[in-house]
Structure 1
Amino acid sequence: MPYAVVSALSHPGLVRERNEDSLVAGPWTLCATVTENPQTLVFPLGTPLVVAVADGLGGHPGGHVASALVARRIAAVAPGLDGEQAVRDAVDDCNRAVQAAAGGDSGGEFATMGTTVAGVVLRPGSLLVFNVGDSRVYAAGRDGLRLLSVDDRPPPDSAWGPSHLVTQCLGGSRAYRAVRAHVTERPLTPGERCLLCTDGLTDPLPDGVLDEVMREHDDGRAAFELWKAAVAAGGPDNITLAVVRVADE
């Protein structure tokens, strides 16, 4: 049976006081905590395996609550994510859950809490990629690094100019807003690796640096070197990432 090796870490960076990122890998979650050494886990692919990152919105109190809620909710439904519609339904459910939790704090500090989410569902022979917001999923292979997710950000030449705004997220407003998750399916072959990360990694580091590190290092070492490079670049935001490798039986 094929299996997946997941190497992950989460760190607040050098500027933010709180880590508002969360991560899920199968039943395991890492919510608003601090790790500098990658945690490596091995999962059989007998049932769908979900690996995802969630970035609580900066500037909106309760981002850490929203991202943790989404990570734990995805972990609970992961075994049933057997197709694109199931993934869309799960993301919609997460959006409603964040909105409901914020609504329960109507007028309070968490009333507009929100989060991004980006992840993969691994099954033998196929990979489902999903995201809402600007956290990312890459494929890392012999032909280099390829972005598989879709950034929900204003275009660079828009009136907003360079911006960290997201055009959709889970929660993030006092009134309910539906989301349209980006979900795609592609073949999955043993030996292929994926990089999942929040924008605390991709904003300070260009894709060329990510590609170089992924080419030079395996699994946990790649995760550590990516984190180290983001910190060396100023660590302006929370940094959460997972390197996922699929291997033969």
Structure 2
Amino acid sequence: MASVSHSAAVSNVGKIRANNQDSGYAGHTLFVVADGMGGHAGGDVASAIATKRIMEADTAYHSAQDAEFALQAALIAANSQLAETVFEHAELTGMGTTVSALVVIDDQVAIAHIGDSRIYLFRDGELSQITTDHTFVQRLVDSGRITEAEAMVHPRRSVLMRVLGDVESSPEIDTSILATRAGDRWLICSDGLSGVVSNTGISNALKSSLDAQAVADRLVKESLDGGAPDNVTIVVVDIGNGGERQGDPVVVGSASAPLAFGEEPVRTRAPRIPSLRLHPVRETHFEPDSQDYLSELIEEDARRALRRKITWLAGIVLLIVAIAGAALLGYQWTQSRYYVGVEGSTVAIYQGIQQDLGPLKLSSVYEDTDLELNQLRVYDRQQVERTISASSLEDAKLIVERLSNAPAE
């Protein structure tokens, strides 16, 4: 019978953020990653409250169905606790957190998920993303409006459609039960990893012979090497053949420290209508029932795409105009040059330069003189046949005059 053989949890603030708003937990059978949102004032508090509440679900279960129900109930309870905290501390208004959690029981795994933290399964050399991001751009991908590649660089890729927080009393939580077996390696991570390290990089780390702790450390390092613009939290779970579990439960990130936020008396206030906060970093949330605004965002993205096309088209037109202008100036310069050459059997003065540009002739006969080639000395005739450059029209005429006055052989 399969069971957890090793696990590890690691969290790092990254290279940009001032504080760690992620939390992680690697327990006996329960494993959790929570990624807080709400800025410096509340993201760390939200992930810590949710993680500490969900940790209470780390217990024995009779079946995977019981574990799935307990996980869902734990997330709903954490959501209520977040709402109560915001009610008592208005400075935390708007805080929320993603949660991805799994419980290993016998040969099955119960999963609960909300937000854009992810759960991956590495099995038989292949990496599979188990959860689906609850983000605005994922909806655009699912509806076929944009591609996965476009989603990676979309300006609204951090807008969350679902989180735990003070927005909904009963948020929609994805749950599922999957089979697991010895040799499986599960990964739970915040988008500080998945948004920086490619699937190939993640897969290469998971397929290594390193233990769970070393793999987690390696993935954190790869995120840091990639710039780590966000906190990164990783939980790795190795499934074995039912031997004794190695290691004690580990709490990382903001949940590993005591909660610290300003005290404010409990007060009665009118229900708050959640606002839409669109911001380029992760402190963003999108009201899930705002379908009109969703349509507006989609239209805005369409307008942005149109503006990009117009910008590219204008750039191409300007480039063509610049090239055409440069070509015209270049051609005008060639027509200020003269040389002496052959036209049939006579000497002629040409306007332009001796070279041609493909089918474009850069010179033409300016004046056909009456001077026959056979009247010239052998040396002069050879020079004319090879063309003689002149600095000006007057210089070209002087060359012709010199040729005609040269003594015949």
Q: Aligned partner of 1:166: which letter?
A: L
Superposition CA RMSD, Å: 2.0
Deviation for aligned residue 1:3 = 3.5
Unaligned 5+ segments in structure 1 are 27-42, 44-48
Look up the match of 1:139: 121
The structure number with the bigger radius of gyration is 2
Deviation for aligned residue 1:86 = 2.3
Aligned partners of 1:61 and 1:112 also within 8 Å:
no
Look up the match of 2:165: 171
Aligned counterparts of 1:154 and 1:112: Cα–Cα separation in 2: 18
Aligned partners of 2:22 and 2:44 also within 8 Å:
yes
- The structure-2 alpha-carbon separation of the partners of 1:172 and 1:239, relative to structure 1 and needing over 3 Å to count, comes to farther
Q: Which has the higher contact order (CA 8 A, sep 6+)?
A: 1
Unaligned 5+ segments in structure 2 are 147-153, 244-409
Look up the match of 1:212: 204
Look up the match of 1:66: 46
Aligned counterparts of 2:185 and 2:103: Cα–Cα separation in 1: 13
Deviation for aligned residue 1:211 = 0.8
Look up the match of 1:238: 231
Deviation for aligned residue 1:74 = 1.0
- The structure-2 alpha-carbon separation of the partners of 1:244 and 1:177, relative to structure 1 and needing over 3 Å to count, comes to same
Aligned counterparts of 1:172 and 1:216: Cα–Cα separation in 2: 41
Q: Does 1:123 align with 2:115?
A: no
TM-score computed with the length of structure 1 as normaliser: 0.83
Q: Aligned partner of 2:70: which letter?
A: A
Aligned partners of 2:9 and 2:25 also within 8 Å:
no
Aligned counterparts of 1:55 and 1:99: Cα–Cα separation in 2: 17
Aligned counterparts of 1:227 and 1:101: Cα–Cα separation in 2: 31
Aligned partners of 1:24 and 1:74 also within 8 Å:
no
Aligned partners of 2:181 and 2:239 also within 8 Å:
yes
Q: Aligned partner of 1:164: which letter?
A: S
Aligned counterparts of 1:58 and 1:16: Cα–Cα separation in 2: 13
Aligned counterparts of 1:213 and 1:20: Cα–Cα separation in 2: 25
Aligned counterparts of 2:7 and 2:131: Cα–Cα separation in 1: 19
Aligned partners of 2:192 and 2:231 also within 8 Å:
yes
Alignment of 1:22-61 (within 5 A): 22-26=23-27, 43=28, 49-59=29-39, 61=41
Aligned counterparts of 2:116 and 2:81: Cα–Cα separation in 1: 20
Q: 1:78 aligns with which of 58, 75, 82?
A: 58
Look up the match of 2:21: 20
Q: Aligned partner of 1:240: which letter?
A: T
Deviation for aligned residue 1:149 = 1.1
Aligned residues: 224
- The SS at the match of 2:92 is coil
- The SS at the match of 2:182 is coil
- The structure-2 alpha-carbon separation of the partners of 1:60 and 1:131, relative to structure 1 and needing over 3 Å to count, comes to farther
Aligned counterparts of 2:92 and 2:159: Cα–Cα separation in 1: 19
Look up the match of 2:407: none
Q: Aligned partner of 1:245: which letter?
A: D
Aligned counterparts of 1:211 and 1:13: Cα–Cα separation in 2: 21
Q: Aligned partner of 1:222: which letter?
A: V
Aligned counterparts of 1:229 and 1:190: Cα–Cα separation in 2: 27
Q: Aligned partner of 2:84: which letter?
A: A
- The SS at the match of 2:91 is coil
Aligned counterparts of 1:185 and 1:222: Cα–Cα separation in 2: 25
Aligned counterparts of 1:240 and 1:92: Cα–Cα separation in 2: 22
Q: Which moved more, 1:152-161 or 1:51-60?
A: 152-161
Aligned partners of 1:116 and 1:132 also within 8 Å:
yes
How big is each residue's C-alpha offset from its partner over 1:189-213, in whole Å with a ceiling of 9 and x where there is no partner?
1221101100000111121111111
Aligned partners of 1:118 and 1:135 also within 8 Å:
yes
- The SS at the match of 1:129 is strand
How big is each residue's C-alpha offset from its partner over 1:33-74, in whole Å with a ceiling of 9 and x where there is no partner?
xxxxxxxxxx4xxxxx11000011153721111111111111
- Please identify which structure carries the higher strand content: 1
TM-score computed with the length of structure 2 as normaliser: 0.52
How big is each residue's C-alpha offset from its partner over 1:121-157, in whole Å with a ceiling of 9 and x where there is no partner?
1111110122110000000111411011121011354
- The SS at the match of 1:223 is helix
Aligned partners of 2:57 and 2:70 also within 8 Å:
no
Q: 2:88 aligns with which of 104, 126, 137?
A: 104
Deviation for aligned residue 1:179 = 0.9
Look up the match of 2:137: 155
Aligned partners of 1:199 and 1:239 also within 8 Å:
yes
Aligned partners of 2:4 and 2:237 also within 8 Å:
no
- Please identify which structure carries the higher helix content: 2
- The SS at the match of 2:221 is helix
